[in-house]
Amino acid sequence: MTRPRISLPGPGLLSGYDPTEFFCEALSPRDDGAAQLAAIAARLNALDPDDLRRRAARAEKELFDLGITFTVYSDKDAIDRILPFDVLPRVITPGEWTRLEAGIIQRVTAINLFLADLYGDQKILADKIVPADLVLGNANFHSFMRGLKVPCGTYSHVCGIDLIRDQEGLFRVLEDNARTPSGVSYVVENRNLMLQCFPDLMEETRVRAVDDYGLMLRRALEEIAPAGVDEPSVVLLSPGIYNSAFFEHVFLAREMGVPLVEGRDLVVENDRVYMLTTAGKAPVHSIYRRIDDFFLDPKVFRPDSMLGVPGLMDAYRKGNVSLANAPGTGVADDKAVYAYMPRIIKYYLGEDAILPNVETFICREAEGLKYTLDNLEHLVVKPVGESGGYGMILGPKATKAEIDEFRAKLKADPANYISQPMIGLSVSPTLTEKGTQPRHVDFRPFAVTGASTKVLAGGLTRVAMKEGSLVVNSSQGGGSKDTWVLAGEGQ
């Protein structure tokens, strides 16, 4: 099948490039932005491959020098790795972005209403829209959150919605990340790198800025601070330098201009939270925490945890400190709950989902399990409790033996799995050793919610660096690209 593509003036970088049957993020036409897309494609095509490689190498060195890294642990060493950066950007038109933004705001709004309901009256369970046991039996559902009023009614303050684009060019939601989604630091740093190493590429292209994320986040954290606090003191709570996402914590604390604290820097006295400073104890009102629920407070969760703050949950329950994201948001981004999201949106907002899900079969239901077992070789099957692409199987790419082995696992614990048809993820031209080639990409935009929801005009485009691979996770060799949201009229 040949799909229409933007024509290029003469031979160049993209001459041998063939996205085959997949939607191409650079060369497939959209409903709008034709002139801008054509100009960018022509500009990319005119790049000299050797020069591009030299500059890519320089960008990579800069990433190492600046320590823009994630940490991988081997037996005895901690190794800092950079997220491979591909220099060819991915482009989103103004019209596409308008729809994406509306769809994300709609989804985040529904997620927050859903969480408020689950920790309130539980109407959606009574009305049997979502099976009660799916929620109440979930390890991420915290009964101590029941009846608690959170500021602005917001539970998921930072939400990362994973999207893919199917073969028709339609964005679909693959996964919700309502707890502590990471990656936004790369969105901003990739842009910085792009501006530094490829200023000529960005000339005359009106790309929307992404460097206001820190301010957006800080404003939201101030909005959710306990009532009556005039100048809320905001901190970022990190597990510390040995966490693989420590760079992101550094980045966010710096961008927000707030202290980066660890559990040992905080104390709770009389149900109020303080940080230990050189001048003694200073009050803390709003915490952007990047540690998981179960490590927040050893008095409530794991008594052996050194990462958290004893008494933090008491202070939280009393309303003396705000936490973003709220504990217990994990129940909304569960891969099993995901299947119900279109119905959840309809239930609370009376609207159809602007961004459709990927069709999903729930193996805990007899029908879903049977369909999955019958069609294993066509489906992607994922465990609901894992992240980072672990424990999944790509049916069409698996051997017969692998499928048989997986069938046994699935039968032994069907409730742990969902399945989805294999989607032909869109591709984007990517600089490889063999020249410019199509590589599959996904997309994670970030929404920040305090009193209202704002979406950063950009997002993390992850790219599967291996030929033909659909796995974009950094832990499995994925890289990233700068994402250009083109400015529309008046933006």
Partner 1 sequence: MTELLARNADCIVWLARYMERAENLARILGVAETFARDRAGRNWLAVVQINADEERFFARHRVADARTVPHFYILDPDNPNSILSSIKAARENARTLRPMISIEMWRQINRMNTWMGGLSDNAVAPANLAALCEEIKEACQLHVGITEGTFYRDQAHYFYHLGKSIERADQTTRLLDIKYHTLLPRPEDVGSALDISHWNALLKAVAGYQASRRVLAGKITPRSVAAFLLFSDSFPRSVILCVRQMDWLMTQLRTRYHLRGGVKALELLDGLRAALTDHDIDHVIDHGLHEFIDWVQSQLMAIFAEIQDSFCVTRQPSQSQSQ
User: By the criterion CB under 8 A, which residues form the site for partner 1?
Assistant: 64-67, 240-241, 246, 250, 253-254, 257-267, 275-280, 282, 306
| Residue 305: CB minimum distance to partner 1, A | 12
Nearest distance in Å: CB 267, partner 1: 6
Are 365 and 131 in contact by the 8 Å Cβ rule? The answer is no
How many helices and strands, by DSSP H and E, does the chain display? 14, 22
Q: DSSP H helical segments within 224-358, as ranges?
A: 246-256, 312-317, 335-338, 341-349
Name the residue nearer to partner 1 (CB basis): 78 or 209: 78
d(CA 27, CA 38): 8
CB of residue 462 to partner 1, shortest distance in Å: 24
**The tokens of 371 are what?**
């369909």
| 381 contact partners, CB below 8 Å, separation of at least 6 | 363, 372, 392, 393, 395, 406, 410, 417, 418, 419
Q: Is 215 helix (H, G, I), strand (E, B) or coil?
A: helix
CA distance 150 to 201: 45
Residue listed under structure tokens 């997620």: 111
Helix (H) or strand (E) holding 236: strand 234-237
Least distance between partner 1 and beta carbon 277 (Å): 4
CB of 261 to partner 1, least distance (A): 6
- Minimum distance from CB of 289 to partner 1 (Å)? 16
Nearer to partner 1, 229 or 275 (CB): 275
| Residue number, 110 or 253, with CB nearest to partner 1 | 253
Provide the minimum distance between the beta carbon of 254 and partner 1 in the complex, in angstroms, as a whole number: 4
Task: Report in angstroms how near the CB of residue 83 gets to partner 1 at its nearest.
Answer: 17
Distance CA 2, CA 37 (A): 19
Q: Output the smallest distance, CB 71 to partner 1, in A.
A: 10
CB closer to partner 1 out of 196 and 452: 196
Q: Which residues, including other chains, have CB under 8 Å from residue 302's CB and lie 6 or more apart? A: 294, 295
96/189 with CB nearer partner 1: 189
Comparing CB distances to partner 1, the nearer of 213 and 417 is 213
Judged by beta carbon, residue 33 or residue 311, the one nearer partner 1 is: 311
Of residues 251, 243, 274, the one with CA closest to residue 186: 251
- The closest alpha carbon to 364, from 203, 125, 133, belongs to 133
- As to burial, measured by CB atoms within 10 angstroms (0-12 exposed, 13-18 middle, 19+ buried), residue 425 is buried
Distance between CA atoms of residues 297 and 279, nearest Å: 25
Least distance in Å: CB of 98 to partner 1? 34
What's the rounded Cα separation, in Å, for the pair 116 and 105? Answer: 16
Q: Which is nearer to partner 1, 254 or 370 (CB)?
A: 254
Of the candidates 460, 476, 379, 468, which has an alpha carbon nearest to the alpha carbon of residue 430? 468
